Structure 1
Amino acid sequence: MGAGAVATMGTGVAAAAPAHGAGALHTPADPTYDQPLGIAMEGYATAYPVRFLRMVNQGETVDMAYLDIAPSGQSPTGRTVLLLHGKNFDGGAWTTTARALAAAGNRVVVPDQIGFGRSSKPALDYSFELLAHNTVALLDHLGIADVDVVGHSMGGMLGVRFALLHPTRIRRLVLANPVGLEDYRELVPAHTTERLFADELANTGLPGIRAFYQSYVVTWRRAYERNVELRYRVTLSGEYPRWALASARTYQMAYHQPVVQDLPALRLPVLLVIGQEDRAAVGKSYATPENRAKLGNFPVLGRLAAAAIPASRLVELHGVGHLPQLEAKKRFEREVLSFLGTDRP
């Protein structure tokens, strides 16, 4: 089918303030944290067992964390769904979606990309080609020939590159508020990795981190607090500088490798699920006030993307921000399951 105020978090994706203003307000009931968390989230509880795949990237030995969730429904589909997280998230942020997909009979694989979550945080020259290569290595390790892919935010950028680089390994693609639908270099100035690293090191305040995640949604709910806890407790770790450097380097990847120009080359069915209140954009806080107002206009970006992708379907979710899989959980799961269920073997 064709067709405000800015919160910042170091080198993360910036988003507009919540539409209803509730997000950025601190209340006495907001949780506080004083226990450090290792940069590989050591000891943090997970809904499913975490496994690791050892590989070599650019001469460095790294460990890629992943979840491999068996179908829990009574009628297995024989299909595998691969979930790709965003830059300011990890695979665990997909827990509710993974549970719904497994309950519908799908095997679900959820990696933490190298540089994120429980995986290694090496000082690499990050690229979407590298992450796609690592993801294929994981599928080969698990004996999986092809997958349906669901990517959120930066994970949507990776999903697009994965589809173009490895077209025989992917059947259908779902993009949930993907960034990279515009070329940020046109409106956001470039910065050195050293500058981005310093900004990330300085971003250690709990109120600012909470406001950043609150800016992603229209109405903040305590169920979203997990992201705040993880991000803040990592800043208390003695290895936080290594985490911050990996974050700065992956920012460069997202900034310099947009996917908007790649959309017309996609040759598979694509579902775009776009929260209409979303205004997220890579590096938005570095733009001038005039240019900030032009960035992250997802109602427009979603329609342009749908028109550019030859076989696309666009679902617009009103009253929803950057996290449709959480803010409109039931609708999101219904749309994804319906789309992926077409032409099941």
Structure 2
Amino acid sequence: MLATRFTLMYPEKVEKLVLENPIGLEDWKLVAPYTSIDQNYQNELKANYESAKKYQLEFYYDKKWKQEYDEWVYLLTGWTKHPDYPVVALNNAQTSDMIFTQPVVYEFQYIKSPTLLIIGTRDRTAIGKNNVKDEAARERMGQYQLLGKETQKKIPHSQLVELDNVGHLPHIEVFDRFIKPLSTFLSSTQK
């Protein structure tokens, strides 16, 4: 979302835009109830290895975990043990609020830069999904195998690379499959 916002605000500075399983492809606040920054902050204060792994297992990796993903969870949760973690927790809560309340889905058509979308089709990330009571509505959220295609149609001069059977973090799950289209796009002379 930050890359999209930057591209929209400073198009003269962006030669190319790469979006890897970006959030903001749908407007979650149309389906999920709002969670305040204070509520998110309290949840962030409770974060630990187990809760982060559970979240990633369900949403990032669609219930397909590999032991090598553990190091990335340790990286995310190591700072929860630091005495200054409440500062990070507040920043995380504020970031979640921005993600939820300011989706970029309505602005993709204004992107002028050539754009590469790299989408892991098994990704199910959707902020607030766990708070949606209607099971059918919850299941429709975070369907990146559909969102990638829809987003590619909205962004002029965009390319879509779908990585089948890959979740939210293609650069971790399948680096070789991720880096090839990225390198090709970055080295192309398309402007």
Tell me the alpha carbon deviations over residues 176-226 of structure 1, each in whole angstroms, 9 at most, x when there is no partner: 11110001110111122111111222233x322222233322643343222
Tell me the alpha carbon deviations over residues 50-88 of structure 1, each in whole angstroms, 9 at most, x when there is no partner: xxxxxxxxxxxxxxxxxxxxxxxxxxxxxxxxxxxxxxx
With the length of structure 2 as denominator, give the TM-score of the two structures. Answer: 0.91
1:176 to 20, 26, 50: 20
Tell me the alpha carbon deviations over residues 6-37 of structure 1, each in whole angstroms, 9 at most, x when there is no partner: xxxxxxxxxxxxxxxxxxxxxxxxxxxxxxxx
Contact 2:47-2:77 within 8 A present in 1 as well: no
Cross-structure match for 1:282: 127
- Secondary structure in 1 matching 2:118: strand
Tell me the alpha carbon deviations over residues 79-133 of structure 1, each in whole angstroms, 9 at most, x when there is no partner: xxxxxxxxxxxxxxxxxxxxxxxxxxxxxxxxxxxxxxxxxxxxxxxxxxxxxxx
Amino acid at match of 1:316: E
Q: How does 1:205-216 map to 2 (within 5 A)?
A: 206-215=49-58, 216=60
TM-aligned CA deviation for residue 303 of structure 1: 0.7
Contact 1:187-1:287 within 8 A present in 2 as well: yes
1:266 to 111, 136, 146: 111
> Tell me, which stretches of 5 or more residues in structure 2 are unaligned?
none
With the length of structure 1 as denominator, give the TM-score of the two structures. Answer: 0.52
Contact 1:302-1:314 within 8 A present in 2 as well: yes
Cross-structure match for 2:82: 237
- Secondary structure in 2 matching 1:281: coil
Contact 1:209-1:232 within 8 A present in 2 as well: yes
CA distance in 1, matches of 2:166, 2:32: 25
CA distance in 2, matches of 1:228, 1:166: 33
Q: Which has the larger radius of gyration?
A: 1
Q: How does 1:115-134 map to 2 (within 5 A)?
A: none
Q: Count how many residue pairs are aligned between Structure 1 and Structure 2.
A: 188
- Secondary structure in 2 matching 1:260: coil
> Tell me, which stretches of 5 or more residues in structure 1 are unaligned?
1-156
Decide which structure has greater strand share.
1
Amino acid at match of 2:163: L
Tell me the alpha carbon deviations over residues 254-295 of structure 1, each in whole angstroms, 9 at most, x when there is no partner: 111101111011111111111111111112222224231121
Closer, same or farther: CA 221–255 of 1 in aligned 2, 3 Å? same
Cross-structure match for 1:160: 4
CA distance in 1, matches of 2:52, 2:39: 19
Amino acid at match of 2:56: Y
Question: Percent identity at matched positions?
Answer: 36
Give RMSD over aligned pairs.
Answer: 1.8
1:311 to 143, 151, 157: 157
2:47 counterpart of 1:203: yes
Contact 1:213-1:227 within 8 A present in 2 as well: no
Contact 1:306-1:312 within 8 A present in 2 as well: yes
Closer, same or farther: CA 217–191 of 1 in aligned 2, 3 Å? closer
